[in-house]
Amino acid sequence: MADTSDIRTPAQIEADIKRRRETLAETLDEIGVRVHPKTIVGDAKAKVVSNIDHTLGRAYVGVNKAVTDVKAQFVDEEGAPRLERLVPVALVVVGVVGLLALGTRRRKG
């Protein structure tokens, strides 16, 4: 016994074939655009830029955290300088600069 639940006219079959051809043509056009060398290069560039932006963003956050941590060592919660930490560091810096200046003078003289 034949299945008669899907009886279509030749015009309906032709319309269905036409729709499927159009859909297939659109799909093939889309595939053509996706595999085109310019599209592939553009996608690769966009991915590289995105990765660089992500890396720079992470680096910025890391540096910002490091600066905040160092600042917290020399400034209290109210923003006032911690002299008990700043003075020894300043003395070390002055001492190093003085030693470098003496070394430069000895080489010239």
Q: What is the pTM of this model?
A: 0.47
Tokens of residue 91, six digits: 């003395």
Residue pair 57/69 in contact (Cβ under 8 Å)? The answer is no
Q: How far apart are CA 51 and CA 45, in angstroms?
A: 10
Please write the tens of the pLDDT for every residue from 80-103.
988 898 899 999 999 999 999 888
Q: What is the pLDDT of residue 79?
A: 86
pLDDT band at 38 (very low <50, low <70, confident <90, very high): very high
Residue entry with tokens 């290069």: 41
Please write the tens of the pLDDT for every residue from 57-85.
999 999 999 999 988 888 988 889 888 98
